[in-house]
Amino acid sequence: MSERFDVIVVGSGAGGGVVAGELADRGRSVLLIEAGPHQTAADYMRWEARATHQIWWPLAFAQPASAAGEPPVALFRGRCVGGTTAINTKVALRPTDQDYDKWHAAAGLVNERGEPFAEGDLITHLECVERRLGVRERSDWQTCVHTAQRGFEALGAELEPVTSYTDANCMRCGSCLQGCPTNAGKSTLNTYIAPALVTGRLQLLADCAVRRVIIEDDGDGPRATGVEYSGADGGRHRVHADVVVVAAGALATPGLLIRSGVREATGGSSSSELIGRHLGFHPARLVEGLFDERQDAHMVYPISAHCMKFQRDEDGGFVVEAATIQDPIAFATALSDEQGRPLWGQELVATMRRYRDFTGLLTMVSDDNRGTAWVDDAGNDRFTFDWSPDDQERIDASLQFAREVLQAAGAKRIFQTGVISTHVQGSCRMGSDPTRSVVNAHGESHDVRGLFVGDGSVVPRTLSVNPSLTIMALASRLAAYLDSGEHGYFTRVAAEAAV
């Protein structure tokens, strides 16, 4: 392996996979480092416990920052080449105008003309990503979705098909969270990384954990010059590059930057002190109804439809998706009754025997980004949440609406989970004001030259939609900027771009 690259990318998910793949396509020398294993469709199977152990990070929890007695929030994310895009439900939605307005208000994010960052600044990258992923509408609904639709219609709310990055080979087998066994589900692995790997344009190190970004002072201030990582052999290794892109996800990127000494290198600048702040959770909850008729919601494309009636903040600030149900282990573990009390004993056994008669909804709330990612004295990542009154009102209202939908659809009994998060965002805000953000509008650290962040942590405020398409588009925008050479960091001319 080469000892020096144009770019080192840490993390291979929605952000890192796109940055690495697009730069490799443009002829740049790229090393992609991933903490998890390199598995493909040939390895995936509908085996919940195996997937949880092999390609998911161990479950993390955000603890309440202030409210005594409030339960923790479970945090889910992928740990494999492709990151969470390899094990998510592939919903592809663009940001709304309100989302962009929030970004500018939160961090002063402006474009090259000094105007508030808006759709026009991202649209070409959104379209590029959509074409590469083959985004399409999913109107091929199954019984469990039509069951839920009855309830929405009864309440005067429309259930619409989602758009997703899945192709026509999707067999609606429900295996999305264990990795797609047919490659019908697109991911950064099979659309950005694999094509560059097979042609030798990209080098990949899987099962390797980056311990720190190497930061040196070259006389003009701190500069990122490479990374130190633990290899599969257990040893520590160093590799150098002109540019380092950290894309370990909104939960892991802040800790890596903190452990790398960014704050110390910058003398505790206001920007560096914001690392890990403003973490958003897009708080979610599964609400599941028991019906007399067979639903088989576990054998379905998991998120086929959504209700956007309450998407805007002034309308409620939440989205409800249908239809979905957890796989049996997670379903049994998280199931709670109408009062939020976990099921156990004979009641749980009896309920699990009716597993095939359940269909469920997923609620997602636009929160105010009051969470924090931090590092404890032992060097471990820690997370806290602190719901605002508006957050709590939206969480409660979304649960109530979902329960009413299922009741109107004919559910005999309704269960729920606690609050969870699969869409963490915003722990290293992108903005044009260093006193309110960690990186600038190009994703580069305000303080450390050559250090970029390219994942969901740069999103200034939690999106009102599933975030993966937006993260990929921002990553595509970053790749274009890096390849332009406008920053002046590259020491070599790019090789011939891929055709």
Q: What is the DSSP string of 305-323?
A: EEE-TT-SGGGTSEEEEE-
Q: Could you give the residue ranges of the DSSP H alpha helices within 335-467?
A: 345-352, 389-409
Please give the backbone phi and psi of residue 237, each rounded to the nearest 5 degrees, phi first: -135, 155
Amino acid occupying residue 429: R
Let me know the angle formed at the C-alpha of 275 by 269 and 280, rounded to the nearest 5 degrees: 145
In angstroms, the first-to-last Cα distance of the chain is: 24
Whole-number pLDDT of residue 497: 63
CB 291 within 8 A of CB 145: no
Rounded to whole angstroms, what are the CA distances from 114 to 107, 109, 111, 118, 474?
Answer: 13, 9, 5, 11, 18
Crossing angle, helix 143-154 and helix 389-409, to 10 degrees? 110
Residue with tokens 């028991």: 290
Q: How many CA atoms lie within 13 A of 184 on its CB side?
A: 18
Please give the backbone phi and psi of residue 215, each rounded to the nearest 5 degrees, phi first: -120, 125
Whole-number pLDDT of residue 499: 47
Please give the backbone phi and psi of residue 265, each rounded to the nearest 5 degrees, phi first: -65, -25
Please give the backbone phi and psi of residue 214, each rounded to the nearest 5 degrees, phi first: -80, 120
Please give the backbone phi and psi of residue 46, each rounded to the nearest 5 degrees, phi first: -80, 75
Whole-number pLDDT of residue 234: 85
CA 459 vs. chain centroid, Å, equals 11
Tens place of pLDDT per residue across the chain (499 aa):
677 999 999 999 999 999 999 999 999 999 999 999 999 999 999 999 999 999 999 999 999 998 778 899 999 999 999 999 999 999 999 999 999 999 999 999 999 999 999 999 999 999 999 999 999 999 999 999 999 999 999 999 999 999 999 999 999 999 999 999 999 999 999 999 999 999 999 999 999 999 999 999 988 999 999 999 999 888 999 999 999 999 999 999 999 999 999 999 999 999 999 999 999 999 999 999 999 999 999 999 989 999 999 999 999 999 999 998 999 999 999 999 998 999 999 999 999 999 999 999 999 999 999 999 999 999 999 999 999 999 999 999 999 999 999 999 999 999 999 999 999 999 999 999 999 999 999 999 999 999 999 999 999 999 999 999 999 999 999 999 999 999 999 988 887 666 4
Whole-number pLDDT of residue 66: 85
Rounded to whole angstroms, what are the CA distances from 243 to 48, 206, 369?
Answer: 38, 20, 29
Let me know the angle formed at the C-alpha of 438 by 93 and 87, rounded to the nearest 5 degrees: 35
Rounded to whole angstroms, what are the CA distances from 431 to 100, 273, 434, 491?
Answer: 12, 15, 7, 28
Cβ neighbourhood burial of 409 (10 Å; 0-12, 13-18, 19+): buried
Locate 37 and state its tokens: 């294993």
Whole-number pLDDT of residue 330: 95
Strands 451-453 and 236-246: parallel
Return the bridge partners of 241, or none.
Answer: 5
Locate 14 and state its tokens: 């929605």
DSSP 70: P
- Does the pTM surpass 0.75? The reply is yes
Locate 75 and state its tokens: 């945090």
CB 306 within 8 A of CB 322: yes
Give CA–CA dist 148/355, Å, rounded. Answer: 16
Positive or negative: CA dihedral 172, 175, 176, 180: negative
Whole-number pLDDT of residue 68: 72
